[in-house]
Chains A and B, each alone.
Chain A
Amino acid sequence: MTTLPPILMTRPKLIDLARQKLPCSSRLIPSAQLIKEKEDIDHYVEVNFKGLSKEEVAAYRNSYKKNICVDMLREGYHESFTELFALMEQWETLRVAARRRSIFWTQKPLEDQLDKLDYLYHHLTRAEAAERKGHFEEVYNNLYALACFFDNAEDKWVRNHFYERCFQIAQLIKFDGGRKEAEAHAHMGLLYEEDGQLLEAAEHYEAFHQLTQGRIWKDETERFLNMWACESLLRTYRLLSDKMLENKEYKQAIKILIKASEIAKEANNKKMEGEALYYLGLAHLAAEEQNIAMTVLKAYSKISTDLQDDLSLGRAYEAIAKVLQSQGQMTEAIQYLKKVVNITKSNFQNIDVVKASTMLGDIYNEKGRYNKASEYFQQAFDTTVELMNLPLLDETKVHYGIAKAHQMMLTMNNYIESADLTSLNHLLAWKEQRGDGDLEQVLPQLPDEDCESLKPQF
């Protein structure tokens, strides 16, 4: 084959005319020469006019997303490209899925968020370059920076993606004694915790805890990593045990909480230890092992006293009172609850005051001492009024009302039972007026002790 046929081309009419008319252009210019001329013109334009280089033309013609991708690939950052491309695709699918759910969804496509694209480009390429050289620590830092950048409610999945990448990379970093690995475990733990997969979260936190044990690493905010590990681990354990208690798996919950309290003890942080003991005590209570619960809670109250932490002391007493109540030792329970009320009142912990008072009221109510009960319920009610908490207000209102009714019922019963004329008159008088608390004003108050024998039978 010596020659190939010439290419058929569509030429605008004008060019054909010009070709025929102009004397300077011979009719048959080989296209090879035309191409060469075009190249010369391109070169001339590029040199002599600013803003007309091929890159700039491409930047103008194409989308920013494409330019960034092409830039990456040109420099050989193909892994960054793959990652960015996958992210963009996922972004788009999420966006479409979310748009279907609500019309007013306003998230922009990633292609329009130039700052984010730039940030991704910058860090991804640097991470890849570092990875090629084997500087895994730098890779980690870059990926971590990206994860931090996307740490907001909307882009959470992007952050999670980079946390996972960090985790993979961190396992390759050996010479820093596992610090990065520990941090990566912490992030993974957080990720799973947010996702509600507590078991996996606990696993990661355990690894985190183990890696940081005995180290004096601190993070940017001067916080010990080990402390952080303990806190997160305890939090996860608590959530886990809460879930188990809900499902009535008491033994496992207690096992986990014992582990938690041991970890807290090792961490040498009294406050955390106390906290762990508190939840352990509650779990024992739920499992109806009152004696163990009692000892655990006593230990907690001792720690609280040592720390002079009134709030936790209040909580301890409250829990103890609950245990006593379930054991039927009402007098002791009342004692503890009174302490709680005093402590919380002096600390202005209104909600706790309400809780304690309600409990006290309940106990008195059960014992049939309605005066006392209504007194405490009133206290609870008054405190909630200050709190402006409507559901709580309604609840205490009801409690207060019930106690009050009980109180009135007793005296009324008395009058009905005595069945003489004066009593009848009293009752009729009350019935005609039917004011709040009138019965007490009208009728002589019965002594508290008698009430016990006159407990109404419902």
Chain B
Amino acid sequence: MNVIYPLAVPKGRRLCCEVCEAPAERVCPACTVTYYCGVVHQKADWNSIHEKICQLLIPLRTTMPFYNSEEERQHGLQQLQQRQKHLIEFCYTVAQKYLFEKKYAEAVPAALHSLRFRRSVYGLSSVELVPAYLLLSEASLGMGRIVQAEEYLSQAQWTVLKSTDCQNATQSLLHRNLGLLYIAKKNYEEARYHLANDIYFASCAFGTEDIRTSGGYFHLANTFYDLQKVDLADTLYTKVSKIWHKYLNEHYQVLSQAHVEQADLLRKRFVNDTGLDEAQEAEAIQILTSILNIRESTSDKAPEKTIFVLKTLVMLHYLMMNSFKAEEYAIQALNLAKKLELSDEEQSNIEELLHLISAEEEHPIT
């Protein structure tokens, strides 16, 4: 059932591999609408995205049922489009998450799916294609295929250049990826230019103190760090951690407020919520951990900053209901604070955090 024979396929119908578009030799037994050239690609696709969208693909790839009235036909078409749009977003988020987790190879099939659906919904020269190109370029970059990444980025840049109504958010993403590309090529001059553009567009779209802008700052900081301008990089890292701290602290305060107000009522469970999607959570972890690493390597100069980052990380993990890691970071922060003999207020702050986390552990969410 898994294997198909290309010669047995009806004439004029070409089945090609989902991943590489070569002639197909296998089919997915679950949905029977997805073909592969070999086991390798089938496995890759399954692990990346197909497992999650297998059943969703069936209505998209089989012919539409016969409708009796025009109205029904319109409705069917609309539904199809909606399904496609949903898949676009879903694949996009999944791919993004893989990227932040540095699983680049896994990200590619998901990103390809997103690109393919975008193409069929919006057409070939639409700006909507750009985010998918960017994902693919980022994945290629992660796998060390700089030329391929540049190819995708050139395509994306060209699309943006031609369009008149490109959103600031998309522009910002494009420039961020271009910046990353030039960092990989060690052309720091260009990288700085593109990252600056990224921050500008992101600020126009979300404001200067938004978590979505922080990525640009982070990469810019990395560039300066590589250029040995440590003090400059330091201020930028501080800015990034401040942005995240502010954001997480707001959510944390809301939550702890709720805890205080209803402590005795029925022992009600509170949903810990970061207000972030999965990709953003992964990004947060990646950014904050690497800042922490940098801070720790220079912690003899400014240990307060290390504690600050640690506190932010504690809040992040706590809100993500990852209390084991949160506790680990909190203890680390507390030890550091004690060693430095910081003010009592600071220490009690951390202790309070620790207390909250351990309370969470005693009543694990079932």
Contact = CB atoms under 8 A, between A and B. Distances in A.
A285 to B, nearest CB: 54
Interface in A59-94: 66, 69-74, 76, 78-79, 81-82, 85-86
Interface string A415-435: 000000000000000000000
A76 B40 contact: no
A8 interface: yes
Contact of A1 (B108, B151, B200, B220): B108
B196 A70 contact: yes
Q: Is the interface of A mostly helix, strand, loop or mixed?
A: helix
Interface extent on B, as a size class? 35 or more
Contacts of A15: none
B20 A70 contact: no
Given A10-B125, A73-B195, A132 B235 contact: yes
Contacts of A66: 200
Contact of A78 (B112, B151, B152, B239): B239
Contact of A70 (B112, B152, B154, B200): B200
Contacts of A79: 235, 239
A78 B21 contact: no
Contacts of B21: 5
Nearest to B203: A85
A153 interface: no
Interface string A27-64: 00001100100100000000000000010000000000
A14 interface: no
B270 interface: no
Contacts of B87: none
Interface stretch (B224-232, B285-293, B326-334): B224-232
A7 interface: yes
A1 B21 CA distance: 12
B122 interface: no
B232 A70 contact: no
Contact of B124 (A8, A81, A86): A8
A9 interface: yes
Contact of B151 (A2, A35, A54, A71): A35
B147 interface: yes
A3 interface: yes
Interface string B91-123: 000000000000001001100100000010000
B208 A86 contact: yes
A74 B198 CA distance: 11
B154 A74 contact: no
A4 interface: yes
B40 A81 contact: no
A79 B151 CA distance: 34
B20 A35 contact: no
B148 interface: yes
| Chain B CB within 10 A, most for which of A8, A54, A73, A86 | A73
Interface of B: 19-21, 40-41, 44, 105, 108-109, 112, 119, 124-125, 136, 140, 147-148, 150-152, 154-155, 192-193, 195-197, 199-200, 203, 208-209, 217, 220, 224, 229, 231-232, 235-236, 239
8 contacts: A1-B109, A3-B20, A10-B125, A69-B196, A71-B196, A78-B217, A78-B220, A81-B208
The 7 closest A-B pairs by CB, nearest first: A73-B196, A32-B147, A5-B21, A76-B232, A70-B196, A74-B196, A82-B208
